[in-house]
Structure 1
């Protein structure tokens, strides 16, 4: 058993748990972390980066089980306690999921082959940071206070924003939260709708990737490394979800914009000035 590899998997799990729900790109930071640590081969890292996100999204399911159950039962039966339109949230999430599912199914392998590298991540981190500053500087008119209030039209627009997150470094949470804010969804509702929207997208992507590429995991140690990373991401994600909701209810995302831009600039400097040869 390679203890160093397990320690690296724990670090990757911590990185995923911290970054999944922040607008800073969990995939981007996982790629950078793996590259800096020399973690695994590229083929295994590419699978690991996608599947480990299951841990963080399972934390969402655990923490929001009551509301998600109401959304599911409301979608099926048309009845849900305390909701005027019990099918609204469930249908909105389905509508918002369709665009990224279609594009992800068609282009996932090409994206992983050509864009899963630190320089692409750095560029998208910078672009995303600038977009956060732009959206946060605009006056906002709130059209949806709770996630259950998001209209089908707004859900489709959020789903189109989510497609940008197929490019590593963009951030799924960042694209959906900032996109929702731009469209007039409240800060709290933007964060929670983004959490819920990640459930079908991340579970679908992880299962599809496992189905297509599980052959790169050649022994029980490989599966253990993947399991450890996923478990750690679940634990860390569970600790951070409520904190983020409280944060966004009171503050803006400009601090994360600065973090994105600074990280992106540092990576580009490392690639250009110091001639650092990134893996993959």
Structure 2
């Protein structure tokens, strides 16, 4: 991976991480178009640059994250993130096995798009418009919905937003809580991928994520630049998405997923 490739992957991550379109599918497609070799470092890089995207949410909603008088906010996030932490740890190997199956990921992209076409019609009368109205019970249920995104191609954002809407949240409230929940979820995934997970297990080159990053100055530079780019792009993408979602709903994203998913299926079936 060279610097230009790393920047492109980071731009894709920043653009798609908080949209209901699956950042995993888009990064996989981008890497394929760039003829990037599927390596353990590439896999780890795609996960670790989520840290930059995490920081964008903390910066955009800093008043919420640093309001230490609102302890219920932190409590809700703690309980909501637990399902993903437990199930993610238990199924980590199976999730990683699917990451290289672009046909499966593209198929899920299409199926998720079909679901998004009907979401606005299913949840027409929201009763919750602010995070303070979300109970711990609702937060935990949203956390379980988020676990659907363990299947690459589903989209963590889509799963948790739909989960929020099943609990009576408005589109905007569901999207914002999805962003809030992303911070502890993705932080845990990033820390796990860098400091705990052994990449290339069972091979002569197995090592921890931080060992790969510190392997040489090039990897260090790629890691730093990737996170900075993902942070800047995510700042723009989040605000744009909130405005579009509030105004137009999910149909656009549904058609987008279907079109892109079918395109990817054709590409990976006949041209790759």
Provide the TM-score with structure 1 as the length reference.
0.87
Deviations 1:53-101 (A, max 9, x none): 111110000111111111x4422xxxxxxxxxxx2x2222122111001
Residue 198 of structure 1: aligned partner: 182
Q: 1:61 aligns with which of 40, 58, 62?
A: 58
Look up the SS of the partner of 1:141 in the other structure. coil
Distance 1:159 1:258 in 2: 26
Distance 2:27 2:162 in 1: 21
Q: Contact (CA 8 Å) 1:10, 1:229: kept in 2 or not?
A: yes
Look up the SS of the partner of 1:22 in the other structure. coil
1:139 to partner: Cα distance: 4.3
Residue 168 of structure 2: aligned partner: 184
Distance 2:9 2:152 in 1: 16
Distance 2:97 2:49 in 1: 19
The CA RMSD over aligned residues, in Å, is 1.6
Residue 224 of structure 2: aligned partner: 227
1:167 to partner: Cα distance: 1.3
Distance 2:192 2:43 in 1: 13
Q: 1:7 aligns with which of 4, 7, 18?
A: 4
Residue 79 of structure 1: aligned partner: none
Residue 45 of structure 2: aligned partner: 48
Distance 2:146 2:28 in 1: 19
Look up the SS of the partner of 2:70 in the other structure. helix
Distance 1:28 1:190 in 2: 23
1:103 aligns with 2:87: yes
1:134 to partner: Cα distance: 2.5
1:172 aligns with 2:194: no
Moved more, 131-140 or 189-198: 131-140
Q: Which runs of 5+ in 1 are unaligned?
A: 76-86
Q: Contact (CA 8 Å) 1:55, 1:232: kept in 2 or not?
A: yes
1:238 to partner: Cα distance: 1.1
